[in-house]
Amino acid sequence: MTTHAATFHFNPTEASVTEKENGDMAAGTVTREHRLLDLRRQEQLEYRLISIACFPLFLVIAVFSRLLPRSWRPFPGVKGKRRSVFGEARAAVNTIIPFAFMR
């Protein structure tokens, strides 16, 4: 009875992990694309959760900013366009939260 030892090789140029057993290439590759896709899905979920958690804070800021003169507002609007309080809060979230994900 012979035993075959399985060895694992990582080739960075192919960016995949393959199993090699006595010269035969076995199936079972985990590609870089799959890892990147999983990472992207995880970051999308984190972004959404942080956005949902921060939206109430920016909503309160947008409500209080309406009490201030326009020149003092923390989130100046586009000339000629006036957003709702919810639109201002959403714009602030979409402007500020991406900085947490910069590398």
d(CA 21, CA 85): 63
Q: Give a yes or no: residue 22 inside a domain.
A: no
pLDDT at 21: 46
Q: Give a yes or no: residue 9 inside a domain.
A: no
Q: Give a yes or no: residue 49 inside a domain.
A: yes
Q: Give a yes or no: residue 16 inside a domain.
A: no
Has this prediction a pTM greater than 0.85? no
β-pairing, 24-31 vs 16-21, is antiparallel
- 17 strand-pairing partners: 10, 30
Q: Give a yes or no: residue 71 inside a domain.
A: yes
Please spell the DSSP secondary structure of 53-69, one letter per residue.
HHHHHHHHHHHHHTTS-
In 3-state terms, what secondary structure has residue 3? coil
Residues of the domain holding 87: 42-101
- 21 strand-pairing partners: 24
d(CA 103, CA 100): 9
Average pLDDT over residues 88-95: 91
pLDDT in tens, 36-91: 888 889 988 999 999 999 999 999 998 998 888 877 877 666 666 778 899 989 99
Q: Give a yes or no: residue 89 inside a domain.
A: yes
- Token pair, residue 84, equals 């709702």
Q: Give a yes or no: residue 66 inside a domain.
A: yes
Q: Is the model's pLDDT at 95 over the cut of 60?
A: yes
Q: Is the model's pLDDT at 13 over the cut of 60?
A: no
Domain count, the chain: 1
Q: Give a yes or no: residue 4 inside a domain.
A: no
pLDDT at 68: 85
